[in-house]
Structure 1
Amino acid sequence: MKVLDVGCGIGGPLREIAKFSLTSITGLNNNEYQISRAKELNRLARLSESCKLVKGNFMNMPFPDDTFDAIYAIEATCHASDPVACYKEICRVLKPGQCFAAYEWCLTDHFDPKNEKHQKIKADVELGSGLPDIRTTSQCLEALKLAGFEVVWEGDRRLDSEVPWYLPLDTSKFSITNFRSTAIGRRITRSMVSMLEFVGLAPAGSSKVHSILEKDADALVEGGREEIFTPMYFFLGQKPLSKS
């Protein structure tokens, strides 16, 4: 069985799936550093034979039509500027009758485009996480259908848990295991980054980037509390057996 991980990063999910399955998994990524890191981690896990890495753009993938038996994307295709084109490309390389599963970052139905606070939260998440115009769950689902997929299942998985998904980012909650994300941990990290940048051990602009990421984390927490944002919108789409 041939599986494609779209936007695999350094391959965490890829390796976990390979450990309990007999699949051959290909990870697609457009970042050379992440690919080299993933290859080394695959080697250390003794998974180099079953886990392959390919450098490429998920908007124009270097694979023939009908190549893969299954495709998944985890918090990756939300970075596509054109979701319909992205999903169409995924549909192209997927074998007929097979499925594409994804977790997407989306706005929920609670998002009010006329609400200034909502707009600011959205803008801060987009800037800090490198996202284009964040889509709503409805827009995401419509894009999947327009790309030619039949929807098998869809839903916001954040609603299935009593524990808020944004809890690890909440600076109001003290945690030893996630100390860096606490208010004290942030101050220490901020001071260290500034010092390293000052002495030349960190690139110029590191403090500015760190500030943007902190603002992003705060926006994610606020988006979660306001229930206007979810990083856990899941869908399963099936490619029809024929175009007719």
Structure 2
Amino acid sequence: MTRTTTTQQIPTPVQDPELSSFLLRLRKKNTDTSSHKQTVDSYYNYWDSDRKKTDNNDNSVAERRSNSDKLTNHFYDLVTDFYEYGWGTSFHFARMFRESTFKSCVAQHENFLALKLGLKPGMECIDVGCGVGGPLREIAKFSGAYITGLNNNAYQVERCRHLANQLGLSSLCKAVKGDFQQMPFPSNSLDAAYAIEATCHAARLENVYGEVFRVLKPGAQFACYEWLTTEKYNEQDPAQRQIIHDVEEGNSISKLYTIPQCLAALRAVGFEIEEYCDLADPDSPLAAAQDPWYLPLQGSFSMNMEQLHRWRMTPLGRWMTDKMVLTLETLRVAPAGTRKVSSLLNLAADALVKSGEQHLMTPMFFFLVRKPANATSPPGGAAAAGANGISRIEAVGH
């Protein structure tokens, strides 16, 4: 099925990165309801051909891959404010250690990468797909390293810059708008790189991994938490396929890769794999010390303060948010299509819980890889995109 709407230039919804209130952000978007609705409709159109027939046929997947940059841009124009309202400024999961707060688990998850990379003052590191910069700011505070976030969504870049300035971290934290499959950085220029649940949005993993390889100095390391399907997932099982399809649609992922495919992609671009493991594995050595990673979405019957603090993430909290935005849209306070965005995120949350319960996918497949000391470019020659882009001083100089 051909969907010409996917190739049209969709206007960006009106957004103000300095607004702190979820309600005020919805009202701002409501000043141009047409742009918001076009973005909503465009995103949904990407999935029309196989929403009911979830076999992820080759044509549908190929079209989503070829338009992955537009798909993801539309998605984050729509969901960023919801994410911050319900989750905070770090858009990722974490190992949920018992007797630890959600916030501390998230920070520990981020700083684990800083420790693995050996980040320290004076080093220049890139956050690949930085969102609004929650991890970037935490890792900068923890390590003292200079961190530059790369993000192709203009609103998130501006939001990232605003929050860094607001928190007094602009001397260590920068944000650059650009495609992580064509990075605007010189080759062999960065001391380290990390990505947290972001590279799954790439059209192909080799594209983004190859660019990370190119911009790293020889001998430098790349650490990542990747979204992947596990060996438990059976593509031929209709029920499992529906769950994963809902995860993909609700999170703007053209098609999830498998763990072996991820490792093969890393090797193909030239990385040496030093360490990897599935931190969401229910049979991991520390599993007994954790609650499931999806517990914040699943909810809990516990009435302790930590659970109450996370109420917006729970099924009840999401239901209340859904009814709130429906009311605001009906009263024309929120723009048309806002309720569809809420429904999309509820679809994603429910699918993630189901996939987590069966361990069909992991949002935290950790790997640490190194660019060989004698390497300067990916095998076979990577695209030279970025070699003549913004200079190192402009991009990551401080």
Q: In the alignment, is residue 31 of structure 1 matched against residue 153 of structure 2? A: yes
SS at match of 2:319: helix
1:197, distance to aligned residue in structure 2 (A) = 0.6
1:56, distance to aligned residue in structure 2 (A) = 0.3
Distance 1:239 1:87 in 2: 11
Distance 1:50 1:142 in 2: 34
1:220-235 to 2 correspondences below 5 Å: 220-235=352-367
Mark the CA change 1:195 to 1:48 in structure 2 (over 3 Å): closer, same or farther: same
1:118, distance to aligned residue in structure 2 (A) = 0.9
Structure 1 stretch 170-179 or stretch 1-10: which is displaced more? Answer: 170-179
Q: TM-score, normalised by structure 2?
A: 0.59
SS at match of 2:253: coil
1:172, distance to aligned residue in structure 2 (A) = 6.2
76, 86, 90: which one aligns with 2:212: 90
Alignment match, 2:242: 120
Gaps of 5+ in 1: none
Distance 1:74 1:241 in 2: 25
293, 313, 326: which one aligns with 1:165: 293
SS at match of 2:276: strand
1:236, distance to aligned residue in structure 2 (A) = 0.5
186, 195, 215: which one aligns with 2:327: 195
8 Å contact kept, 1:127–1:216: yes
SS at match of 1:112: coil
SS at match of 1:176: helix
Distance 1:139 1:154 in 2: 13
Mark the CA change 1:16 to 1:88 in structure 2 (over 3 Å): closer, same or farther: same
Distance 1:118 1:228 in 2: 8
The one-character-per-residue Cα deviations of 1:180-211 (angstroms, maximum 9, x if unpaired) are 23343233222111111111111111112211
Alignment match, 1:238: 370
Whose helix fraction is larger, Structure 1's or Structure 2's? 2
8 Å contact kept, 1:173–1:182: no
1:23, distance to aligned residue in structure 2 (A) = 1.5
1:123-202 to 2 correspondences below 5 Å: 123-159=245-281, 160-161=286-287, 162-171=290-299, 173=301, 175-202=307-334
Mark the CA change 1:219 to 1:173 in structure 2 (over 3 Å): closer, same or farther: farther
Whose strand fraction is larger, Structure 1's or Structure 2's? 1
Distance 2:359 2:314 in 1: 22
1:171, distance to aligned residue in structure 2 (A) = 4.5
Distance 2:332 2:175 in 1: 34
Number of residue pairs matched? 244
1:112, distance to aligned residue in structure 2 (A) = 0.4
Q: In the alignment, is residue 4 of structure 1 matched against residue 132 of structure 2? A: no
1:63, distance to aligned residue in structure 2 (A) = 0.7
Q: In the alignment, is residue 218 of structure 1 matched against residue 340 of structure 2? A: no
Gaps of 5+ in 2: 1-122, 380-398
Q: TM-score, normalised by structure 1?
A: 0.95
Distance 2:183 2:129 in 1: 11
8 Å contact kept, 1:66–1:96: yes
SS at match of 1:114: coil
SS at match of 2:309: coil
Mark the CA change 1:17 to 1:122 in structure 2 (over 3 Å): closer, same or farther: same
8 Å contact kept, 1:150–1:237: yes
SS at match of 2:270: coil
SS at match of 2:291: coil
The sequence identity of aligned pairs, in percent, is 48
Mark the CA change 1:197 to 1:95 in structure 2 (over 3 Å): closer, same or farther: same
SS at match of 1:212: helix
Alignment match, 2:194: 72
Mark the CA change 1:206 to 1:103 in structure 2 (over 3 Å): closer, same or farther: same
Structure 1 stretch 156-165 or stretch 104-113: which is displaced more? Answer: 156-165
225, 244, 251: which one aligns with 1:103: 225
